[in-house]
Amino acid sequence: MDHPFFQQAVRKNYYLKSGYVSREQPRYCYDTLMEGVWQPQVYALARELGMTLRCKYVIDIGCGTASKLVKLYPDFQIIGIDYGENLQASRSMYPFGTWLEHNLDSRHKLNFEKSILKDAILVCADVIEHLVQPVHFLCNLKEWMEHAAVCLLSTPERDIEQGADHRGPPPNPSHVREWNLDELATLFRSFAFDIKFAGLTVSENITHTKRTSLLVLGNNDPYHAKSALLESREVRKNIMRII
């Protein structure tokens, strides 16, 4: 399922700065090993936008053990995507959710019914930095955004976390590579995603410092009715208030 921009992204090292070295074999990230609540405002924003756009579903791409996703239930039907121990834990603890097994590093497509995507908020919170081949995920996401109104994507802001001179690999053994905000936006623009907002959000609920990049991606169709609301002054004010 190679996207037309697949080879270009790989050739340009995913638009990372010159000399950046990625990790070839990351460690599997089991969600419950983490302390604190990470990316808390991403899920708060998903709730706000889901209510505003009158969506029925939240699809969490790389949901981990889903401790943040499940708090959006029963206001929304929840769908989590992951594999391994994370997915096993989610299925065991939260039988009311829908849990889909898929490795985002896989070349295989993950298909959703169009009727679900049209009524869904997509969330991908601090996942892309774990992927060895993120182009496979980007190709999937590009197709999903033909129908979904919005995707909230976050990842650590490398320059804030590691300093402007850092050239990898990331200190976290489960991270393959990390982008600064400009590089991340360039990567998504190279795949012709419609970036409605690019900025920083709170990284965790302990220090509440903003060290995480956040992209709000709109539907691929600029005239999509729900997605167009993301550009309204009121919605943009709410985004800034929450993050």
55 inside domain: yes
Distance (Å, rounded) from C-alpha 52 to C-alpha 168? 39
194-202 vs 150-156, strand pairing mode: unpaired
Distance (Å, rounded) from C-alpha 106 to C-alpha 82? 12
- For residue 235, is pLDDT > 60? yes
Helices (H) and strands (E) in the chain, counts: 9, 7
> What is the number of structural domains in the chain?
1
205 pLDDT band (50/70/90 cuts)?
confident
48 inside domain: yes
For the chain, the average pLDDT equals: 94
CA-closest candidate to residue 148, choices 126, 192, 115: 115
pLDDT score for 98 = 98
Structural domain including 62 reads 34-242
In 51-149, which ranges are E strands? 57-61, 77-82, 98-101, 120-125
12 inside domain: no
- For residue 64, is pLDDT > 90? yes
- For residue 157, is pLDDT > 90? yes
14 inside domain: no
- For residue 156, is pLDDT > 80? yes
Residue 84: partners with Cβ closer than 8 Å, 6 or more residues away = 28, 30
User: At which residue do the structure tokens 């939240």 appear?
Assistant: 58
Handedness of CA 109, 114, 115, 118 (dihedral sign): positive
Across 154-172, average pLDDT: 98
25 inside domain: no
pLDDT score for 18 = 95
Tell me the pTM: 0.95
User: At which residue do the structure tokens 């919170």 appear?
Assistant: 125
Q: Provide the percentage of residues in the chain whose pLDDT is more than 70.
A: 96
Domain with 190 in it: what CATH number? 3.40.50.150
User: At which residue do the structure tokens 């393959």 appear?
Assistant: 176
pLDDT score for 179 = 98
223 pLDDT band (50/70/90 cuts)?
confident
Amino acid (1-letter code) at residue 11: R
156 inside domain: yes
Q: Provide the percentage of residues in the chain whose pLDDT is more than 90.
A: 88
5 inside domain: no
- For residue 80, is pLDDT > 60? yes
59 inside domain: yes
pLDDT digits 0-9 by tens, 92-145: 999 999 999 999 999 999 999 999 999 999 999 999 999 999 999 999 999 999
Quick check: helix, strand or coil at residue 2? coil
